[in-house]
């Protein structure tokens, strides 16, 4: 089973699955050797087990790897890893031409011509390297985000055409040339026919031939006539209609001989829309498989086979002649030599038979031979019989009846098998080796069948069912200390259901996540994996539990012992005691408490106090303080200056009597609040009130916070 994070050949790391076809699945992967992203196409198991197919597939892919053209998806590598056969290709971010047509209905004329020219240029490069695609169709054309058109699946198409595979694997029959539909020889002109069908669909929004099944569509390619393009789209120029018509001729010799010739006419159609320059050659080859030749024609073929053969293109009078390849001469010579041998043997046999007959008649007339014993005059001489043994014509293998495949996706295994058996008792129903993940089908249900519902197949076919393993597990991300709304959105985007549970908490601010159920992973190497649709409970803080909070008493003016007693009665504790001068409170009285009276705090909170030493004769508290003392206060920044996803440099400044000093500098993000700026200790230059101001990336923030500084012993 291919999963994200898996390595193939210790080089390609699977990132994500991007698509699936009849023969292979396509994944986005990262090549760690060249540090780039690629597309890796991995053959499905039913083709990987066919050694003959794999051999042809690898050979074709390796030959295509030599192609390099802007309009062809480059093939970088081909290989196998523990039974996985794959091709590594250029990763093209874009959309297939099929989806592009479906979105727009039909394309504008200039747009369609531009795309067709780029496809033909890719085909031309391949044909020049003696590579024929054999499966040109909109599904195999990718339009990148920058508008570049690229042809893909070169090697895989040819490999498929040389093996017996299902229709799903080869491609859509709607774009098949007549010679391919008949199972005959295909060449560059077969690709041109398929491009003609693709242009027809781009300009009209529909394929030229459609039917109830693949057989009927194939027959239409062989003997049907498509509706003229201009009847479906009057905006199509006459010249372009003729170009498409020439590409889609039934006989290959009536089509464009090469992609370069097609490109030339397509470019002319942009400038001269109504010009009469598209010439469709008259066909000279009959589609009939049996041709009766006269003696003169036979002698002409024999003599021609022994001399060099030259083919002259009617459309290339000024370009010289084009000779038939040596391979074609040898093939023609071999055919003629075989026919000549058959004729000679037949003539010798006929001559011998005639000679025997004449000798017998002469001998009978003159009674030369004594055919009987004791009765020469009356015995009738028997004519020797000639027995001719005629071999019976080979009988065709019985063809199984065609049966429509029922829809079994969404059914459990047993019900699906019963449904298929009712359609045909001869069906061989098997299950795929491994289950696959599916967001659509629950675990245990059939999620895929190798023949789509409604397809007509032989009644003794093998049907492979793929069982769903349910939704693919997803990693539970860490959302602790994030706002509830942010955490909820992130989890729902991953496909989880979210429930909320409120809980009081003194350390986590209100509306922030305390924890989750299930809990987050503590070891990054062992993440918590949950199926899509699983429920994740967010435990959200409502702030401190008010019912359990204690109210801070007013300690100002009390003695140190009285203050301690008042705190104990309130469920609190006395913290640090310091001595500072005060002109407002008498000597020995509490002149400062670090938590304002009436504020709610948790039980056993320690409250720091300062005891007045009276009015000093020298009003210079800044200088008179011992070195081990300073002026300190605490401030909590409650506002989050960032929007979700934002971050920046945060500066805090203390201002006292017109003087400012930096008290904190940190790089923070939205997720750091409010914990990062809670109970920040502030050190100033004198006792009294101060103002704390905040700056984000050197820009002042609108709010400010008050703080009171008192003398405390430095720690």
* Residues tagged active-site: 135
Distance of CA 605 to the CA centre of its chain: 59
Place of tokens 């065709």: 396
Report the alpha-carbon angle 547-551-555, nearest 5.
Answer: 170
Nearest in space to 553 (alpha carbons), one of 515, 511, 599, 516: 599
From the CB of residue 357, how many other CB atoms can be counted at a distance below 10 Å? 11
Place of tokens 């210790």: 10
| Separation of first and last alpha carbons in the chain | 61
Nearest in space to 152 (alpha carbons), one of 244, 209, 90, 227: 90
Cα(540)–Cα(677) distance, rounded to whole angstroms?
Answer: 20
Coil, helix or strand for 661?
strand
Coil, helix or strand for 688?
strand
Burial letters 71-91, b for 16+ CB under 10 A, else e: bbbbbbbbbeeeebbbbbbbb
Measured in residues, the chain has a length of 715
Across the chain, which distance is largest between two alpha carbons, in Å?
180
341 is in an annotated binding site: no
Report the alpha-carbon angle 236-240-242, nearest 5.
Answer: 115
Q: With 0-12 CB in 10 A as exposed, 13-18 as middle and 19+ as buried, what is 570?
A: middle
Nearest in space to 694 (alpha carbons), one of 644, 643, 638, 632: 638
Contact residues for 168 (Cβ-Cβ < 8 A; gap 6+) = 22, 23, 450, 451, 452
Q: With 0-12 CB in 10 A as exposed, 13-18 as middle and 19+ as buried, what is 405?
A: buried
Q: With 0-12 CB in 10 A as exposed, 13-18 as middle and 19+ as buried, what is 218?
A: buried
Nearest in space to 241 (alpha carbons), one of 251, 254, 228, 225: 228
- Contact assessment for residue 51 and residue 83, using Cβ atoms and an 8 Å cutoff: no
Q: With 0-12 CB in 10 A as exposed, 13-18 as middle and 19+ as buried, what is 702?
A: exposed
Q: Annotated binding residues, as ranges? A: 41
Q: Annotated binding residues for ATP, as ranges? A: 41
């Amino acid at each position: 089973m291919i999963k994200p994070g898996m390595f193939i050949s210790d080089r390609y790391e699977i990132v994500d699955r991007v698509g699936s076809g009849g023969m292979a699945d396509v994944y986005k992967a990262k090549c760690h050797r060249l540090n780039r992203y690629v597309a890796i196409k991995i053959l499905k198991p039913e083709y990987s087990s066919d050694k003959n197919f794999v051999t042809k597939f690898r050979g074709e892919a390796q030959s295509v790897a030599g192609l390099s053209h802007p309009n062809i998806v480059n093939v970088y590598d081909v290989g196998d890893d523990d039974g996985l056969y794959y091709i590594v290709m250029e990763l093209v971010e874009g959309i297939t031409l099929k989806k592009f047509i479906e979105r727009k209905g039909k394309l504008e004329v200039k747009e369609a011509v531009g795309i067709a020219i780029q496809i033909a240029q890719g085909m031309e490069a391949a044909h020049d390297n003696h590579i024929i695609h054999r499966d040109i169709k909109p599904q195999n054309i990718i339009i990148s985000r920058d508008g570049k058109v690229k042809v893909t699946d070169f090697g895989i198409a040819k490999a498929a055409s040389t093996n017996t595979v299902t229709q799903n694997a080869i491609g859509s029959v709607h774009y098949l040339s007549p010679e391919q539909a008949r199972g005959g020889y295909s060449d560059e002109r077969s690709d041109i026919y398929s491009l003609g069908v693709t242009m027809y669909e781009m300009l009209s929004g529909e394929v030229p031939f459609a039917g109830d099944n693949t057989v009927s569509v194939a027959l239409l390619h062989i003997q049907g006539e498509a509706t003229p393009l201009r009847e479906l789209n009057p905006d199509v120029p006459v010249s372009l209609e003729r170009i498409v018509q020439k590409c889609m001729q039934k006989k290959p010799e009536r089509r464009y001989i090469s992609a370069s010739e097609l490109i030339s006419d397509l470019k002319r159609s942009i400038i001269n829309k109504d010009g009469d320059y598209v010439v469709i050659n008259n066909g000279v080859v009959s589609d009939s498989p049996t041709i009766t030749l006269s003696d003169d024609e036979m002698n002409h073929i024999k003599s021609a086979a022994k001399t060099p053969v030259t083919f002259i293109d009617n459309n290339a009078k000024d370009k010289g002649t084009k000779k038939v390849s040596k391979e074609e001469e040898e093939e023609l010579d071999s055919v003629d030599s075989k026919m000549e041998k058959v004729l000679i043997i037949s003539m010798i046999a006929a001559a011998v038979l005639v000679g025997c007959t004449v000798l017998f008649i002469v001998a009978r007339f003159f009674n030369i031979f004594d055919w009987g014993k004791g009765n020469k005059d009356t015995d009738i001489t028997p004519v020797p019989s000639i027995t001719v043994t005629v071999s019976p014509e080979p009988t065709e293998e019985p063809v199984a009846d065609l049966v429509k495949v029922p829809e079994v996706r969404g059914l459990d295994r047993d019900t699906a098998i019963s449904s298929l058996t009712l359609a045909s008792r001869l069906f061989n129903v098997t299950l795929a080796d491994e289950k696959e993940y599916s967001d659509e089908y629950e675990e245990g249900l059939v999620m895929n069948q190798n023949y789509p519902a409604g397809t007509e197949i032989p009644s003794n076919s093998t049907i492979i069912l793929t069982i769903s393993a349910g939704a693919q597990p997803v990693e539970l991300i860490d959302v602790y200390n994030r706002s509830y709304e942010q955490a909820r959105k992130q989890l729902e985007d991953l496909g989880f259901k979210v429930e909320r549970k409120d809980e009081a908490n003194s350390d986590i601010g209100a509306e922030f996540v305390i924890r989750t159920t299930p809990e987050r992973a503590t070891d990054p190497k062992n993440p918590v994996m949950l199926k899509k649709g699983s429920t994740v409970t967010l435990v959200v803080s409502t702030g401190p539990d008010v019912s359990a909070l204690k109210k801070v008493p007013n300690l100002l003016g009390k003695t140190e012992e009285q203050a301690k007693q008042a705190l104990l009665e309130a469920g609190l504790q006395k913290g640090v005691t310091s001595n500072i001068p005060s002109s407002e409170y008498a000597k020995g009285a509490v002149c400062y408490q670090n938590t304002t009276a009436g504020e709610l705090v948790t039980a056993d909170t320690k409250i720091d106090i300062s005891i007045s030493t009276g009015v000093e004769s020298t009003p210079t508290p800044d200088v008179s303080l011992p070195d081990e003392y300073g002026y300190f206060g605490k401030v909590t920044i409650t506002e989050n200056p960032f929007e979700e996803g934002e971050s920046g440099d945060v500066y805090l400044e203390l201002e006292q009597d017109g003087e400012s000093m930096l008290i904190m500098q940190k790089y923070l993000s939205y997720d750091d609040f409010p914990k990062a700026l809670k109970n920040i200790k502030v050190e100033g230059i004198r006792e009294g009130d101060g103002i704390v101001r905040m700056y984000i990336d050197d820009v002042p923030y609108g709010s400010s916070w008050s703080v009171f500084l008192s003398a405390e012993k430095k720690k």
